[in-house]
Structure 1
Amino acid sequence: MPIVVDIDVALARSKMSVGELAERVGITPANLAVLKNGRAKAVRFSTLEALCEALGCQPGDLLRHEPADDRTPAAP
């Protein structure tokens, strides 16, 4: 997927554990892991806002776009 989630980078900068972040944001550590590992299909703006507040960052610090490989056909 061309959207990359960089929560692990923000976590390292803030020296916060996944469990602590999940508690601050109000989601389960398992759901945070799904998001952190790039397996999530969507993220609510309220969750993104809470992540940014807890980590002291902007949405662009957590999400970035990487163009798909030219060899991969585009999805219909």
Structure 2
Amino acid sequence: MAIVTNLDVMMAKRKVSLKELADRIGISNTNLSLLKTGKVQGVRYKTLNALCRELDCQPGDILEYRPGDEEEEAGGD
């Protein structure tokens, strides 16, 4: 997929665990883990807002567009 998640990088920079962050933003560990590994189809603005608030970052610090990865998406599913 052309959009990749750098949530693990931001969590490491802020020294926050998956469980702690999930508790602070009010989602399950499972859903946060799926988001962290890029195994989701979308993210709610409410969740993105909470992540940015708790990690003191911008959406672009968490989500990144990598051109050229579209072929992988078109060939899958």
TM-score in terms of structure 1 length: 0.90
Q: 1:66 to 1:28 in 2, by over 3 A?
A: same
Q: Distance in 2 between matches of 1:5 and 1:26?
A: 19
Structure 2 residues without counterparts, runs of 5 or longer: none
Q: 1:3 maps to which residue?
A: 3
Deviation at 1:68, TM superposition (A): 2.1
Identity of aligned residues (%): 49
Higher helix share: 2
Q: 1:60 maps to which residue?
A: 60
Higher relative contact order (CA 8 A, sep 6+): 2
Aligned length: 74
Q: 1:26 to 1:66 in 2, by over 3 A?
A: same
For 1:4-19, what aligned pairs fall within 5 Å after superposition?
4-19=4-19
Deviation at 1:58, TM superposition (A): 0.4
* 3-state DSSP of counterpart to 2:43: coil
Q: Distance in 1 between matches of 2:12 and 2:22?
A: 14
Q: 1:23 maps to which residue?
A: 23
Structure 1 residues without counterparts, runs of 5 or longer: none
TM-score in terms of structure 2 length: 0.89
